Homo-oligomer: A and B are copies of this chain.
Amino acid sequence: MTRLTIRVDFDDGRHLGHGKIRLLEMVDAHGSISSAARAMDMSYRRAWLLADEVNRMFRTPVLETQLGGKGGGHARLTEFGRLLVDHYRSIERESKVAFAPRIAALEDQLAPVPDEQPEAQG
């Protein structure tokens, strides 16, 4: 299935795209930045930097974090964090519907993919 991905570049160089949104969703699902990083096969450092970047991007924090304690630190989306993810995913979902005819026109024109590995015979 063809996929449309959206990137939002704000005036000042700050941007929001699939990577940051996916990370927020994974933090929400897994309850911490470290677990989200593990699930995304991303280094903890990179995940932390991305999370910190998106957390500073808006007036309202996107993630609430709680350091240390039993079982390590925890993190979860704030109400605004949920709203942010929802805006982004809604744009993607609505794009998919709105542009289905244009995407179908392009799909119709795709060249066949050459078989790189013909199936083994009988």
Residues of A54-111 whose CB lies within 8 A of B: 56-60, 80, 84, 87, 90-91, 94-95, 98-99, 102-103, 105-107, 109-111
Contacts of A60 in B (CB 8 A): 109
Question: What's the Cα separation between A6 and B9 when bound, in Å?
Answer: 11
Main secondary structure of the interface of A (DSSP, over half): mixed
Contact status A4-B6, CB under 8 Å: yes
Query: CA separation between A60 and B94, bound complex, in Å?
Result: 29
- Expressed in whole angstroms, the Cα–Cα distance for A11 and B94 within the complex equals 19
From B1, B80, B102, A11 is in contact (CB under 8 Å) with: B1
Q: What residue of chain B has the Cβ atom nearest to residue A87's Cβ?
A: B102
Q: Which of B9, B10, B113 contacts A110 (CB 8 A)?
A: B10
Bound-state CA distance A5–B57 (Å) is: 19
CA distance in complex: A11, B1 (Å): 5
Q: Known A59-B111, A87-B102; judge A6-B5 contact (CB<8 A).
A: yes
A-B contact pairs, 11 of them (CB 8 A): A3-B8, A4-B6, A6-B95, A8-B103, A10-B107, A58-B109, A84-B109, A87-B106, A90-B102, A94-B98, A95-B95
